[in-house]
Amino acid sequence: MSVLLISGLAFAATLLGGVFALRFRDRLHLILGFSAGAVIGVALFDLLPESMSLADGHYGPATLTLFVAAGFFAYLIIDRLILLHPHTHDDHAHAQHDAPPARGAFGALTLAAHSFLDGVAIGAGFQASPVVGAIVTAAVVTHDFSDGINTVAFILRGGGKLRQALPWLLLDACAPVAGAASTLLFRIPPSSIGLVLGVFGGCFLYLGASDLIPESQHAHPRAATTVMTLLGAGVLYVAVRVWGG
Torsion sign, CA atoms 18, 24, 29, 34? negative
Average pLDDT over residues 35-41: 83
Residue 14 has pLDDT above 50, yes or no: yes
CA end-to-end span of the chain: 25
* pLDDT of 97: 44
Q: Which residue has the higher pLDDT, 134 or 245?
A: 134
105-147 pLDDT tens trace? 666 776 687 688 788 888 988 888 888 888 888 878 876 777 7
The span from the CA of 182 to the CA of 165, in Å, is: 26
Cα diameter, the chain: 55
Which of the residue ranges 23-32, 104-113, 168-177, 233-242 has the most confident prediction, judged by mean pLDDT? 168-177
Average pLDDT over residues 158-182: 83
CA-only gyration radius of the chain, Å? 17
